[in-house]
Amino acid sequence: MDGLVLRKLGRRFGSVDAVIDLDLHIKPGEFVSLLGPSGCGKTTTLRMIAGFIDPTAGSIELDGKLLSAPSGSVPPEKRGMSMIFQSYAIWPNMTVAQNVGFGLKLRNLSREEVNKRVGEILEVVRMSHLAERYPAELSGGQQQRVALARAVVIRPAVLLLDEPLSNLDANLREEMRFEIKRMHDEFKITSVYVTHDQSEAMVTSDRIAVMNNGRLEQLDSPYALYTRPKTRFVASFIGRTNFISGRRAADVVEFADFQVPVAAMGDGVAASGPITASIRPQAMKLSGEPGTNGAINLQGSVKQSAFLGETWDYVFQAKDGGTEFKVVAPPADVFEVGAPTWLAIDPRQIVPIVD
């Protein structure tokens, strides 16, 4: 199978399972993020792909060639990959050009070839004018660019990124996100990106693998992940959401304050029994009068409000002490706390999840 394949990958540290039963197929040229809270096993997974950690179960293959297995692994230096580290790991004893050219020299390329390719890549990351500087003379963002150039210049089989932006300040981080995306689009290198920041993952990735407690929760495109989360963890980790519980009865799902035809909710509704669903705060609309066109309409009132500049955050409560919903509204939709309002819910955006 082409690309990077993790099969039933597992890693135990003592009695703790850092990664359990992880199956992941990353296609050639694809950009996949491993996203999750700290301790979810994403860095362990990345370091197993790099070869710095041996798995205790399962295997890793690249283009059909076995790289890692509990019985032994190909060492990192023989994998033809490259990696961008959290600390950048720019060697302070070498200039920018020497840093970038190091991997090429290890490949025994001629001096002219090394210089040519270093020059090209420094052009791409807009660092040509700083080629002879030492790392101590560079800003954090510039060091990050050197790390990026150094990793990309060898045309690695797989590019691994270990929270590369976590040490940058907010503005620079945003800029570097697009830089990484641009490099990927230009060179089409198969990439695995570890992060705990969902917006980083969303900007850069073709697909995102959400991990929790060593397990893969869901692997999907950023859009699908947000709009169709499959588990409670994913729904709450990616963005904010409202959870509501209900029960399926024949062709409808009954929630506390309303009921929805199964047909209107889309896929994944259990055949019977209790159901938990997620509704994003953006999937609902507050208004002064009941809405129309097929939406579910709930009568109630605004309980809390907070103005965040770009949006309003409201808490809406259905009448007679019913369910509370977090609702996001544009700045123009102003409601007083206590004012009677209507909440319109798009039934297609009520997503059944695994609890």
Residues making contact with another protein (CB under 8 A) = 7-8, 21-24, 50-52, 58-59, 61, 66-83, 85-89, 91-94, 102-103, 106-107, 150-151, 154, 160, 207, 216, 218-221, 224, 228, 230
How near is the Cβ of 93 to another protein at its closest, in Å? 4
Q: Which two tokens stand for residue 279?
A: 């509704």
| AA identity, residue 149 | A
| Nearer to another protein (CB atom), residue 172 or residue 224 | 224
| Nearer to another protein (CB atom), residue 91 or residue 243 | 91
How near is the Cβ of 207 to another protein at its closest, in Å? 7
Q: Tokens 């790390």 — which residue?
A: 147
How near is the Cβ of 354 to another protein at its closest, in Å? 8
| Nearer to another protein (CB atom), residue 106 or residue 334 | 106
Distance CA 56, CA 42 (A): 16
How near is the Cβ of 282 to another protein at its closest, in Å? 21
How near is the Cβ of 185 to another protein at its closest, in Å? 20
Q: Residue 233: in which H helix or E strand, if any?
A: helix 232-237
- Terminal alpha carbon distance of the chain: 33
| Nearer to another protein (CB atom), residue 5 or residue 327 | 5
∠ CA 284-208-167, nearest 5°, is: 100
Q: Tokens 């208004």 — which residue?
A: 287
How near is the Cβ of 223 to another protein at its closest, in Å? 10
DSSP conformation letters of 148-203:
HHHHHTT--SEEEEESTTTTS-HHHHHHHHHHHHHHHHHH--EEEEEES-HHHHHH
| Nearer to another protein (CB atom), residue 218 or residue 341 | 218
Distance CA 10, CA 55 (A): 6
| Nearer to another protein (CB atom), residue 164 or residue 281 | 164
